[in-house]
């Protein structure tokens, strides 16, 4: 069941791409994807190209995929190891969710961080107290680590 569901989701994303998200299979393996995401316009990530690694469990969609950034990014909801603090990848996952909905949520998180549920408390504090400095620093990281497009 998992393979069929994943293949269907890949087909949907390929035929009707989500704006600036592009999935590819890693080594032709249906259960392992790499997704590129362009930084949202108007955000400090604009112009950057970020990569995510997505691994689907054998019991997908009953268990959530594991998703993490492989591109370094300065963000209060994303750890230095690329872990993402997103409730639909954990406690709020349901089989009705799709990888498209996950990617839309990640793009939304890039456009507007959620400092109240931060993985990196110091960045959440900076985001709240000095948004301009946060944006400058995040933009510097984007220019340094994301493949600039």
Q: Per the residue annotation, which of 52, 84, 85, 109 is the catalytic one?
A: 85
* 56-90 pLDDT tens trace: 999 999 999 999 999 999 999 999 999 999 999 99
Q: What percent of the chain stands above pLDDT 70?
A: 99
- Omega of the bond leading into 61 within 30 degrees of 0 (cis): yes
pLDDT band at 149 (very low <50, low <70, confident <90, very high): low
pLDDT of residue 147: 77
- Backbone torsions φ then ψ of 57, nearest 5 degrees: -75, 160
Whether 22 contacts 35, CB under 8 Å: yes
Q: Which residue has the higher pLDDT, 147 or 142?
A: 142
**Per-residue pLDDT band at 16 (split at 50, 70, 90):** confident
pLDDT of residue 17: 80
pLDDT of residue 36: 95
Model pLDDT for residues 114-129, shown as the tens digit of each residue: 999 999 999 999 999 9
Residue for token digits 């108007």? Answer: 42
Q: Which of 100, 13, 18, 112 shows the shortest CA–CA distance to 65?
A: 100
Whether 85 is catalytic: yes
pLDDT digits (tens, 9 = 90+) for 92-117: 999 999 999 999 999 999 999 999 99
For position 15, what pLDDT does the model report?
87
Closest CA to 41 of 102, 128, 107, 106: 107
pTM greater than 0.85 (yes/no): yes
């Amino acid at each position: 069941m998992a393979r069929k569901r994943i293949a269907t989701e890949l087909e949907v994303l390929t035929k009707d791409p989500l704006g600036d998200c592009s999935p590819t299979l890693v080594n032709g393996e249906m259960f392992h994807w790499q997704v590129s995401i362009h930084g949202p316009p108007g955000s400090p990530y604009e112009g950057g190209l970020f990569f995510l690694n997505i691994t689907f469990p054998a019991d997908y969609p009953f268990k959530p995929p594991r998703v993490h950034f492989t591109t370094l990014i300065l963000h209060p909801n994303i750890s230095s190891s690329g872990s993402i603090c997103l409730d639909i990848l954990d406690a709020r996952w349901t089989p009705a969710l799709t990888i498209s909905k996950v990617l839309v949520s990640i793009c939304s998180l890039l456009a507007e961080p959620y400092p109240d549920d931060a993985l990196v408390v110091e960045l959440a504090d900076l985001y709240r107290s000095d948004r301009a400095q946060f944006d400058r620093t995040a933009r510097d990281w984007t220019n340094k680590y994301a493949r600039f497009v």
